[in-house]
Amino acid sequence: MGNEEQVLLLSWRASVFGLRVQIALEEKGVAYTYSEEDIFEKSKLLLESNPVYNKVPVLIHGDKVVRESLIILEYIDQVWDLHGPTLLPADPHQRAQTRFWADFISKKIYDSGRRIRHSKGIEKEEAKEEFMRHLKLLEGELGEKLYFNGDSFGFLDIALITFSCWIHTYETFGGFSVEKECPKLMTWVRRCMERESVAKTLPSPLEVYQIACLVKKKLGFE
Amino acid sequence: MGNEEQVLLLSWRASVFGLRVQIALEEKGVAYTYSEEDIFEKSKLLLESNPVYNKVPVLIHGDKVVRESLIILEYIDQVWDLHGPTLLPADPHQRAQTRFWADFISKKIYDSGRRIRHSKGIEKEEAKEEFMRHLKLLEGELGEKLYFNGDSFGFLDIALITFSCWIHTYETFGGFSVEKECPKLMTWVRRCMERESVAKTLPSPLEVYQIACLVKKKLGFE
C-alpha cells in the first residue's frame, strides 16, 4: 500500500474542502505536512499538481497526487484502512446515500453560501432561502441519529462539519440565524466539535469571518 | 447482499447519465426493467424517488433508491461484485484518478456540450473551444492505452462512452469535427463500440440528433 510514504497537503486555512482532508487525516492518525496556499497567488506546486482546476486541496502522497476533497477522503479511507475508524459505511446503499449527500453539500451548500457572501438584494435573499432549505434537508437526513451514519462519526459528518466554522460568516452577511431554524443540526455541530480531530482543525468563526471580509474586499465585492 | 431483488431503472433514451447505468448493468449481466421518462412531464415515481434533483437516472433495487449516475455505478460495482468484470480499479490511486476524470466528464464535458447546443455567437464559440480542450485532456489521459484503465474496459470508459452518441449532434450544432482534432479518442470510441454492452445500449447518432432538435424546440431555443 505504500502508506508510509510522506504526505503533503496543499490547502488554504478557511477552505471547507481542505479542512475535510485535515479532519480525515487526523481521524486516521496520519502524520502529514501542511502547506498553506495564498489563493490569490497560487504556488507553482499547486498549479502543476492540479492543472485542471488550479484549486486546493491537493494531497501529495509519495509521488502520487490526489485532487478533489471527497475523492481524497475515499483515498485516505482506502489507503489507511487499518488506521483509525472507517469513514465510509460498508453497506452499498448506505455508501451510496453518503456519497449522494456529500456531493450535495459540495455543490449546493457551498454554492448558496458563496452567493450569500458575494451578492446583494434579491439574489442574496434567494441564496439565503436556498441555503436554509438545503440545511433543513440535511437536518432531515440526520434525523434523531447522533451522526449522519448512526452512532459513529464518519464520511458525511466530515463533509459537512467544515461548513460550521463559516456559519457565523453566513449569518453576519445574510442577517439570519441557523440555530433558530435548524436547532438539531446545531446540536450535531456541537457534538462534532467535541471530537479532537474537528476541534483542533477548524479555525474559529471569528477568524473565518475576518478571512471572508478580506477575500470579499480583494475580489472587489462591496 | 440482496442482489436478487428486482432492479428498475428510470431513465431517458438520450441521457448520457442514464446510459452509463445501462452499460454497467449489461457489463454485470444484471436483469433489469427499464422505464422511459418524459423529461418534460416527469413521472410521480421519479419525482418521489429523487425529490432533491428530480432527475434521471434513478436505480430502484428492491426498496432501495440510488441516485446520480457515478454513485449508481459504484453501487452496481459493489453489489454485483462477483458478476462480470470489476468496473473500478482496485489500486487506491488509480481509483482516485478514475473518480477525478469521471467527475470531470460529468461536469465539464456535459456542460460545454449543452452550451454548444443551446447558445449562439461568442458563447457558442467559447463552448466549442472548451469542449475540444476538455476532450484533448481526456485523450491525453487515455494516451496509448486500449482503455482508460489499461487493457480492460471499466468505470471511466463507461463514464465517457455515452457521450459518443452525442458527438454527431455537437458537431452538427457546432460546425466542427472531433475526429479531426482527437483521432485517438475516436479510435477508442470505435473500440468501445465493439463491446456488446455498449453497442446494444447506445442510440444511434441520428436518433440522438433528432431528439436533441426536438428538445431544443421544446425549450424554445432557436
Class of domain A92-219: mainly alpha
Q: Do A75 and B96 touch (CB under 8 A)?
A: yes
Cell numbers for A161 = 462539519
Of B119 and B60, the one with more pLDDT: B60
Residue B148 contacts residue B154 (beta carbons within 8 Å): yes
Report the DSSP beta bridge partners of residue A33.
Answer: A8
What is the edge-to-edge ordering of all strands in the sheet holding A58-61? A33-36, A7-11, A58-61, A64-67
Q: Which of residues 20-59 of A touch B (CB under 8 A)?
A: 52
Q: Which residue from B33, B10, B31 is spatially nearest to B84, judged by alpha carbons?
A: B31
What confidence tens digit (pLDDT) does each residue in B140-166 have? 999 999 999 999 999 999 999 999 999
Helix (H, G, I), strand (E, B) or coil at A10: strand
ipTM of the complex: 0.95
Say if CB A37 and CB A212 are below 8 A apart.
Answer: no
* Residue contact B96–A71, C-beta within 8 A: yes
Tell me which chain B residue has its CA closest to the CA of residue A60: B93
B88 and chain A: CB distance < 8 Å anywhere?
Answer: no
**Which of A3, A78, A83, A138 to mutate against chain B (most B CBs within 10 Å)?**
A78
**Contact criterion met (CB < 8 Å) for B52 and A99:** no
- In a structure prediction context, what are the per-residue pLDDT tens digits for chain A, which is 222 residues long? 456 799 999 999 999 999 999 999 999 999 999 999 999 999 999 999 999 999 999 999 999 999 999 999 999 999 999 887 899 999 999 999 999 999 999 999 999 999 999 899 999 999 999 999 999 999 999 999 999 999 999 999 999 999 999 999 999 999 999 999 999 999 999 999 999 999 999 999 999 999 999 998 898 876
Dihedral of CA atoms B152, B183, B134, A73 in degrees, nearest 10, equals 10
Query: pLDDT tens, B26-44?
Result: 999 999 999 999 999 999 9
- Report chain B residues whose CB lies below 8 A from the CB of A66: 93, 96, 100
B93 touches chain A (CB under 8 A): yes
Q: Where are the domains of chain B?
A: 7-79, 92-219
Domain B7-79, second-level architecture: 3-Layer(aba) Sandwich (3.40)
